Structure 1
Amino acid sequence: MASLKVLSALDTAKTQLYHFKAIIVAGMGLFTDAYDLFCIPPIMRLIGRVYYEHESEDHKYVIPPIITSTMVVIALLGTAIGQVAFGRLGDRIGRRRVYGVALIIMVLSSFGCGFSVCSTRWCVLLSLGLFRFILGIGIGGDYPLSATIMSEFSNYTTRGAFIAAVFSMQGFGILAASMVTMVVCAIFEHASDGVAEDLTPKDADFAWRLILMIGAIPAGLTFYWRMMMPETASSNLFQSKIYNHHLPMKEQLNAYQDAFQVAKFQAIIAACSTIPGYWFTVYFIDKVGRVKIQMMGFFFMALVYLALGIPYYKYWDKKPNTGFLVLYALTFFFANFGPNTTTFIVPAELFPARFRSTCHGISGATGKVGAIIGSVGFLWASHDGEGKVYPEAIGMTFSLIMLAIVCLLGMVVTFLFTRETMGRSLEENENDD
């Protein structure tokens, strides 16, 4: 009876300052997640300059695609494991206690990513891969706990908006990763002006480590507030190809300028497409509903992917192509004003409290498995059976059309199987058969 009174009080409570504080505190893990994921493309440019000596025809030091894909897959695998494990622990021993453990793992592994004492290429890559896997576990643990805690602190009239606002912190993490990378590269380039002819300054090996370690700061700052909280009652997988093929680049860029250009592109996408998508969801989620937004997002993503994929060989396969980049940015908008955000919200509302965190973790981990399959699948689509690399256009066309098909399937599954949770209390959702 007491717990029902608490739930009733939460459902009728007015929006107060602690709601916004909870959004910041709960969202900082997602901020860190996005920071660490989106600082990797420019960092891989720097690592390529430092540790790969061979030079391509367009004067860029290139890391083999399998290495870049492996770095993505390792982090996703750790995230999937963390979602399942910490989701279950959150239901068994309490959200708050496990929340702190996930945060500590994120902070320590972020520092670990930059603290490799190795000097050889493979030792550095193995060390970075290990700490990114551990970082993924911490990030994965943060996902179900953040969504569950926010859902259980909110009232039913604004619950969707508050959970979406937590998730929107990813957008600011993307922007922060790009801005930090640009600032660090600008500072290091200014300091190395005396060696203008050196396209790969020696300090570049320190620059990428510093960018990674800075990602631990915002998460660490929220640790105290997380411990003071009361106990409660997917498409960037082939971004490196996009950058290499469509991003305008001048010849003979040094390492810092190369990474700066990639980070600048990411910042523009985040500011003009990704973040607006999140906040469109925040505004409309409790007016339109979860199911309609999810179906709409899937539908328009499918249209954009088809518009990119079908004419790719004859029309988009140019370097650079501004029209392609504009359409590509729209996929981020409709992902976040659509399924990327709603699939974070619905599991936190739909499942019973006794295994809400567990089921949210399983739901999120399933998505990460799909992302891993997509990452490996894109690499596979770029090669024939004998390991020969297909022309760029063939792999891109296949991947973009497959993404469109997946989006259309997602729209159908949403229509057939997803229950609307808008305007319903958590106990109403729990008591439904």
Structure 2
Amino acid sequence: MASNNLSVLEALDSARTQWYHAKAIVIAGMGFFTDAYDLFCISTVSKLLGRLYYPYHHASGEPGKLPTRVNNAVIGVALVGTLTGQLVFGWLGDKLGRKKVYGITLLLMTLCAICSGLSFGYSPKAVIGTLCFFRFWLGFGIGGDYPLSATIMSEYANKSTRGAFIAAVFAMQGMGIIFAGLVSMTVSHLFLQANKAPSFEENSVLSVQPNADYAWRIVLMLGALPALLTYYWRIKMPETGRYTAVIEGNAKQAAADMGRVLDIEIQAEQEKLAAFKANNDYPLWSRKFLDRHGLHLIGTTTTWFLLDIAFYSQNLTQKDIFPVMGLTHKAKQVNALTEMFEISRAMFVIAMFGTFPGYWFTVAFIEKLGRFRIQLMGFFFMSVFMFIIGIKYKDLATKENRWIFSGLYGLTFFFANFGPNSTTFVLPAELFPTRVRSTCHAISAACGKAGAIVSAFGIQKYTLSGDKGKIKTAMIMLAVTNMLGFFFTFLVPETKGRSLEEISGEDGSKDKVEVQMRSVGDHEVEESHISYRSNA
């Protein structure tokens, strides 16, 4: 490492893995557990909302359902809030400090999860409108967790395990998705038992059980619990040593904070800090930033945008694909709570055997294979399996082939998570300088949520109808999207095994390269001039 790097940063990079690293993973990871639960539990209850608040189609024998625009709003409004929250809290994380705004996100998530379950109104539209209002602000709090958790974990970790630690934080998203299915399945089962309602009785299909309105409210409000339990530990975390030293300019405080939570000895080196800060004092949209990191930012934003179109399309529309796959009964065959139970059960199974393992494969192999290879591999196999599903959709979407369909569908989830869904979260936390790390991660994540919004308001229209031709079209579109992500990955460099300062150029290594290149250029000009005079 370059000699002008600060001792506090070198100590963090070389520190052995300790108990506090595991504690930080849990504290940051519980935020992502809550994020995933809150974002994806809405898929398990949205059809119940349609039966409760919108009139039944007695003429067609179909139960009530949310109109397409209303369904898109209920599903997508939290994603709009998440995008906004990412940009706001990401910027605040660089301006005010990671720790100062870290607890606010959890409080906002706790309050809005409770309020979502208490949505009120004198009419169905009023209830849904109130729900959308609170879910926007719920998403706003969730958005803050992305850049802050990734940045905090990257700045705490040592360079040999940094990728695995950041990926482990993100892997808690898989746990959140599993629990969203498990909790919804348990709640709907308990209400079915309490009502003693027959699941398949012909006359009960169009009816809604008396207490069903409580079911979706309980599911949404339970999202407040993990956030509330984690709040105390989050506010007790010290500010990261990198922020305190590099941005606040207090190397002594950084050494004291990190020495208190990690078993390492750190020299303050206050006099060396001024030179380090002067070398890295350039704004986000400066020519120097664009020369060094412009292509990196294009790479992290485009790959996350393209990935989330596919990933959220899979997660948010699976409730519409399950009946086609034969994993759930059609709406007109079951009552409201049974439909909720079956959707939740199918979501739980897919998450347990497809989604969840992929996250932890990334944790296990990211330091061996590297971020770049895992991302390329994930995009490639997602494309392959989605092309197969799309091209053969009419043959696969039958009762006889439902397990083949389920296997292929599960593999797309596996390679999303043992692939770009994890690495797009890791890379922006490593590539950019300390002064703008949280902001750049926020910009990348916000582009991802823009892709999720495209899926919520665009791709869903192909799946809501249950039409096999439209679902086939959607799958082929998503396969093409993933292949584009494969090619944009080449804009992102490998980061494994290097310090954050070496990757970003904060240690002065990039300046030395630039000086050498200028020297070589000047030398070539001089030689050319001498050659010209000699020829003359």
TM-score w.r.t. structure 1 length?
Answer: 0.93
Aligned partner of 2:321 in structure 1 is 242
**From 416, 420, 440, the counterpart of 1:335:** 416
Shift of 1:336: 0.3
Letter paired with 1:280 = F
CA distance in 1, matches of 2:397, 2:345: 22
- Whether 2:502 is the aligned partner of 1:421: answer no
Cα gap change, 1:92/1:37 in structure 2, threshold over 3 Å: closer, same or farther?
Answer: same
CA distance in structure 1 between the partners assigned to 2:77 and 2:5 by the alignment: 41
Q: 1:44, CA displacement in angstroms?
A: 1.0
Say which of 135, 139, 157 aligns to 2:138. 135
Tell me the alpha carbon deviations over residues 351-375 of structure 1, each in whole angstroms, 9 at most, x when there is no partner.
1000100000000000111221233
Give the drift of 1:247. 3.8
Deviations, residues 254-303 of structure 1 (Å, cap 9, x unaligned) = 32221111111111111111110000000000010000000000000000
> Equivalent of 2:376, from 295, 316, 331?
295
Q: What pairs with 1:217-228 in structure 2 (closer than 5 Å)?
A: 217-228=225-236
Aligned length: 425
Q: Which residue does the alignment assign to 1:78?
A: 81
Displacement of 1:41:
1.8
Q: Distance in 2 between matches of 1:404 and 1:359?
A: 27
* Cα distance change of structure 1 residues 215 and 41 upon mapping to structure 2, 3 Å threshold: same
Distance 1:14 1:37 in 2: 35
Q: Map of 1:157-176 to 2, 5 A cutoff? A: 157-176=160-179
Change over 3 Å in CA distance of 1:379–1:46 after alignment to 2: closer
For 2:222, the equivalent position in structure 1 comes to 214
Against the structure 1 CA distance between its residues 404 and 348, is the aligned structure 2 distance closer, same or farther, given a 3 Å change threshold? Answer: same
SS state of the match for residue 427, structure 2?
A: helix
Correspondence for 1:87? 90
**1:62 deviation in Å?**
2.5
Point out the structure with max Rg over C-alpha. 2
Given that residues 44 and 319 in structure 2 are in contact (C-alpha distance below 8 angstroms), is that contact kept between their aligned partners in structure 1? no
The answer on 1:28 being equivalent to 2:35 is no
Gap runs ≥5 in structure 1: 384-388
Q: Which 4+ residue blocks in structure 1 deviate beyond 6 angstroms? A: 194-197
The one of 238, 242, 264 equivalent to 1:230 is 238
Kept in 1: contact 2:68–2:461 (CA 8 A): no
Shift of 1:248: 3.2
User: Deviations along 1:16-53, whole A, 9 cap, x unmatched?
Assistant: 11111111110112111111122112211221221123
| Residue 238 (structure 1) shift | 2.3
State the match for 2:45 in structure 1. 43
Task: Decide which of 389, 408, 412 is 2:487's aligned counterpart.
Answer: 412
Q: How many angstroms apart in 1 are the aligned matches of 2:376 and 2:182? A: 33
Alpha carbons 2:43, 2:75 under 8 Å: kept: no
Question: Does structure 1 retain, via aligned residues, the 8 Å contact 2:358–2:415?
Answer: yes
Instruction: Find the residue that maps to 1:156 and give its secondary structure.
Output: coil
Counterparts of 1:12-411 in structure 2 under 5 Å? 12-55=14-57, 60-193=63-196, 199-232=207-240, 233=242, 234=311, 235-250=314-329, 252-313=333-394, 315-318=395-398, 321-379=402-460, 392-411=467-486
In structure 2, runs of 5+ residues without a counterpart are 243-310, 511-536
Deviation at residue 395 of structure 1 after TM alignment: 1.5
Asked if 2 retains the 8 angstrom alpha-carbon contact of 1:382 and 1:394, the reply is: no
Q: Distance in 2 between matches of 1:139 and 1:217?
A: 14
Verify the 8 A CA contact 1:185 1:256 in the aligned structure 2. yes
**Distance in 2 of aligned mates of 1:48 and 1:74:** 17
State the alpha-carbon separation in 2 of the partners of residues 3 and 148 from structure 1: 20
RMSD, matched Cα: 2.1
- What is the alpha-carbon distance in structure 2 between the residues aligned to residue 42 and residue 96 of structure 1? 34
Structure-2 separation of matches of 1:223 and 1:169: 16
Letter in 1 for 2:43: P
Worse overlay, 29-38 or 204-213? 29-38
| Mapped partners of 1:189, 1:18: distance in 2 | 44
| Residue identity opposite 1:423 in structure 2 | G
Give the TM-score of the pair, scaled to structure 2: 0.76
